[in-house]
Each structure stands twice: as C-alpha cells, then as structure tokens.
Amino acid sequence: MALQLKQFGQGEPLVFFHGWGFDSSIWFSLLPHLEAQYRVILVDLPGFGSTPFINWELFQEKLLAQLPQIFSVVGWSLGGLYATHLALNMPNRVKRLLNVASSPCFLRKPYWPGLSAKEFTLFNERLQSSPQKTAQEFIAFHTRGLLEYKQSLNFSYFGLMEGMRVLEQWDLREPLLSYPHQVGYLFGGCDALISTQTMHRMRKCYSHFDYFFLKRATHTPFLSHPILFIEALEDFMQ
C-alpha cells in the first residue's frame, strides 16, 4: 500500500504534517505562496484524510520510501510531535525541522507548561462519548471562519484516539536536545492551546533553536496570518 501524498511545485523538498482532527488540505491556502520555490509534499497522518489508520512504525516506513532522500519538515500542533519523532529517527534524511503551534511535550510537567491532566482527561472523555461532535467543535474553535473551504472531517475514530495517545504519552524534550540540524518553533500570541509560556520555557531549554512569534496569531497562524507565516518560513529555510 502506497501513501497518497499530494505534491506541488519544484525546488527544495518541504514536507507538511497537519494537526489533530484535520488532514493535509489544511495547507492548501499556502500553495500559491510556496509552490514556486519549493517542492511541497502534503501528508495525511495515520487515520486522517486518505491515509488509513496504521501504526506509526509502518507509516514511517512507507512514508520514507516515497519521500526524497533529503527533505525539511513542517509540523503543526500534533503534527509537530510526529515531525519531531521522524527527524529524531532519521537525522540523515531530515535536514530541517520547523514546528508550528506545537511543543515537544503537550502535557504539563514539573517546570514545563502544557495542558493539565484534568483538561486532557475531560476532553478525552468527551471525545470517546461523542467523537464526531467533539472533533467538529475543536475544528470550529481553532479555525473560526478562517477556512476557505469546507473541512471534510475525513478522519477515523482510531486516528483521533491514537492522536490523543501520542499527545498524552510522547515526551520528546530530552531527545530533541541531541538533534544535530536546524530546528525552529513558531508560536502565536493568541493561541488557546499552546501558551506563550511554552515558548519562554523552550527559549531557556533550547537557546540554539530559531524562534518566531506572531503576536496576534491563533493556533492556526498559517490561516490567521498567512503572509507573516510565509515570511517566517522563508526566513527559516534560508
């Protein structure tokens, strides 16, 4: 089974991972700005869009078989965790890592900001009882009329639940310290999910990373402030 990657343009390969509840079409509005400079590769994560639910190891194997030998990756929200995991596993393939409205650890830990266990548990319980409704409400809240297309909500229950497991269990803070290539993080000042406290903490822990801050941007900075987002991306890629 081959993955149905969406590819546009020519130039340096740039792979995009979407967030929880969405699929790769979330990036479509950026294509006019990107495809003249980059070979844009949009990926549906397991259980979302055109990709059936499969485990991460099998997905990674199939994905790497279809990607160029060397590429950069952009991960948004949950996609940032997947992108980071891929970069850590394959530093010989991933030359740059840019995470957007994301964190190497989403849950609150000692001396680390994030979602509280109570917040996470309440959302998870709502998701299990009403998966479609909960996902729709999440998408509506974090896009709030910014989408130029009707979100298809093409996801599986197992994809949603696996995404929640990853958000809860993956803590990549320590291994990220040893990643040998360029890393960037972009944050929005009006992000209701990833607070600016995460950015401040990361600046202390990873002072060698590149940081971008869009003061009025939401959890979807590429939708709320596309031009500023593109400028930050191009700055990172230079």
- Return per-residue pLDDT of the chain as tens, 238 residues: 789 999 999 999 999 999 999 999 999 999 999 999 999 999 999 999 999 999 999 999 999 999 999 999 999 999 999 999 999 999 999 999 999 999 999 999 999 999 999 999 999 999 999 998 999 889 888 887 676 544 555 789 999 999 999 999 999 999 999 999 999 999 999 999 999 999 999 999 999 999 999 999 999 999 999 999 999 999 999 9
The DSSP-derived string for the chain is: -----EEES-SEEEEEE--TT--GGGGGGGHHHHTTTEEEEEEPPTTBTTPPP--HHHHHHHHHHHS-SSEEEEEETHHHHHHHHHHHH-TTTEEEEEEES--S--B-BTTB--B-HHHHHHHHHHHHH-HHHHHHHHHHHHHTT--SS-----B-HHHHHHHHHHHHH---HHHHTT--SEEEEEEETT-SSS-HHHHHHHHHH-TTSEEEEETT--S-HHHHSHHHHHHHHHHHH-
Residue 188 tokens read as 């929005």
Q: For the chain, report the end-to-end CA distance as a whole number of angstroms.
A: 35
- CB-CB neighbours of 145 under 10 Å: 7
Catalytic residue IDs: 77, 191, 219
* C-alpha to C-alpha distance for 203 and 233, rounded to whole angstroms: 19
Contact of 81 with 170, CB cutoff 8 Å: yes
- Single pTM value for the model: 0.95
Taking a C-beta distance cutoff of 8 angstroms, is the pair 81, 166 a contact?
yes
**In order of start, what are the domains of the chain with their CATH numbers?**
6-237 (3.40.50.1820)
DSSP string, 172-209: -HHHHTT--SEEEEEEETT-SSS-HHHHHHHHHH-TTS
Distance CA 123, CA 119 (A): 6
